Structure 1
């Protein structure tokens, strides 16, 4: 009898100890899902990902795009035993412009040749024939479409900061973090194993669940010419089309404060602007140059000469574009978006702007392309 009482007591005690943990785990899962749904700006239209991957999204077949298909080369990044004594040609130097010799002398998680961002920049910094994303371009492109970063772990007020250990995604800016010093890693915006999106772009907050992300490459552009600014055109889906998104859809993961949850553009109740609009098709927000009340000069934009156009025409989005030709057609209803004024990686100018804002004589050049009508107002 005593044994039965003791055994029953143990069962009750175990139940008392486990039940709170079980309940906590269940509630944590629910809370986590709720936070994700509320806090993740990607779900505003209820897009669930898993869409088709348009093979023509870059202006032709994705075949041959690096980090995809046959161009996903395991040995570029991984090493079996962390014991590589020489490269595949028997030497100790770079092979085929890729440093096949060990990037680091110690084993790394996931069998990587080097940990973190160091692996990416071992190829993408100063190697001819490979897109160079840091500092001066070793390949001699006229203008890289995404611009350039500064060196890893160097604070840069002219673009995004690359960091070797940036920390948790959210706490870099929130909960004591500081957005001005926050850092990023390459794989937060680009899928290292490829996903058939333009430039293998993905969401930092929800990788793998992003929609089809598109831009358009000039037909006939091959190799590094696909990264030349002049060979890239931008589009956005027509209103109501949720099958794909513009490239700057990934920007709102971190920069969604620039988009309002109600009228999208942060206008005051009297209709006055307090933040510049930009196209964000996910929230149904479009910013055509000829929009009513935009205080712009659409005819000047189309003409493309005179005030403001002593710098190159700024990039724009064409709503409903289907290829490079339609995505680069100048019209009064071209849309303004993040990349109109900013380069994705960084530039030679403050805030990653496309024109010099430190010299008074050119400070307003970019603005004048759309707002040439403001003189003497």
Structure 2
């Protein structure tokens, strides 16, 4: 294997469906695109600085629009959401920045919605508190069209329509939204929301056009799942829709069956120290039986319920090796993503300016040299 290290703290990561591309966010405001056809050949293919605010969460979804495109959303600590795309079938895939969306709220979590919703473009779920009155809300945001080219930093409502839903109007601390996921196997195209008090409920997908939910009545929950001990940190639906997985600050991870009609957790495992923040993130394999979780100083833990008798799959033969850039051939590669000279802040290119477009199409040799030196 190879070791990739960064000078900033890594806050979130997400992978393409095949696991060959990783999108990694950092508190320096950078997104890194890591190519990993096999970990002996993993390398940083591209880095882009989105903001000085830092990246809080990353989400990705695959969009097959004739050519394979990975749609990326990055939640920043200033509550703006950046949309990007990656043409994964390109010989040299890059992070293509499209712009920012601001729904006017303190966003806690994001997740791509799995269901079709008024069109073919990807839709992103965002959950948090509205700036106007502090009520708990869920927003549904349309990603920019695949062919969109960034001309301005802020994405308009015409480019990225927004739908909203008020979930709770009481403003009680325990009713603050902390996590969200798509629950689209439900015929009502539902979403599942986790709360600071440990509650876990499903709601219809947002359908009220516009980002403001101030005048809306709170939505009625479709159903309530058994609550967890403390704040819900993550909630994930398995790829086959059979299990709902929730994680909490109490250090536990639960697996709730969906298909059988019962909502009683069949697994409830204490994995991470509740006195050190509990579970920070959790991911589940397509079968819903193998988990990867992080929390506190525990690092990453791969585990399963002993009753399931499953083991991580044995590594298969690596695909044809992708040529690693000359500046990353060493066993360990370090990227100084705090260096703003090597990785300047993104700004849209003036599409009407031929010189600007030419500069975008032809890499700056001096900037490339600086980036290469920093990676060394």
TM-score where L is the length of structure 2: 0.22
Q: More helix per residue: 1 or 2?
A: 1
Larger Rg, first or second structure (1 or 2): 1
Structure in which a larger fraction of residues adopt strand: 2
Greater relative contact order: 1 or 2 (C-alpha under 8 angstroms, separation 6 or more)?
1
Q: TM-score, normalised by structure 1?
A: 0.22
